[in-house]
Structure 1
Amino acid sequence: MIHDDVNQIMIASFQSCDDYYHDRRETIASQLDRGVQVHKQFFMLHGGHLVAKADRIARRYGGRHVNTIDAGQARGWFEVPSTGGLIDNQRITIIRNEIERAGGVESLRRKRPLKAA
């Protein structure tokens, strides 16, 4: 119950900050279009690959999930663009809460990792 109340406050806060950071997101998008590197915050690093639902959850809040193979090992993480503000931490918290609400990383793990491209 308390967890749900805190999550609702975080979501409301995220939405109220959304207008303030709108111009900043446009700046990040234009930098990406020009090939300028944008800093990212990585979190929830894990072994194995996750299903597409993990990425859909992250994208709902401006982040994304990455599956990769590093030194022959399946690995993954979540990331959000770093705008340099409080909203970054709020997005991370919301994404983390939503992943936990979906059953956590273990329940979203693919039975077989993706193959290297």
Structure 2
Amino acid sequence: MVAPVLETSHVFCCPNRVRGALSWSSGPGGLLAFGTSCSVVLYDPRKRVVITNLNGHTARVNCIQWICKQDGFPSTELVSGGSDNQVIHWEIENNQAMKDLCMQCMLRTRGGHQMLPYIH
């Protein structure tokens, strides 16, 4: 007896409900990136398909931003930040993601109150 072939008919994922957890790459054929739980999802709206999941955060993804190119072509780099105090720089090549740089942001305390570091 031959086993039936399974095909993906629908992919469902919920974006995180925080402002900034979604970014659209400018230019023709640009991808949509959004945070879903502890991952970043890359979605191709023209093909209506999830390209890949970027897994690297250990807590909710709060913000995502594509790095804009001056030549107008779609970006191949993005940055994500999460509740795990990590900022991750991602590079996308041939629809495959590479975690290029991961920075851990430490919280300072003053009188028992947590303060985020000021970045400018």
Q: Which TM bucket (shorter chain)?
A: under 0.3
Q: What is the TM-score of this pair, normalised by structure 1?
A: 0.25
Q: Which has the higher contact order (CA 8 A, sep 6+)?
A: 1
Q: Select the structure that is richer in strand.
A: 2
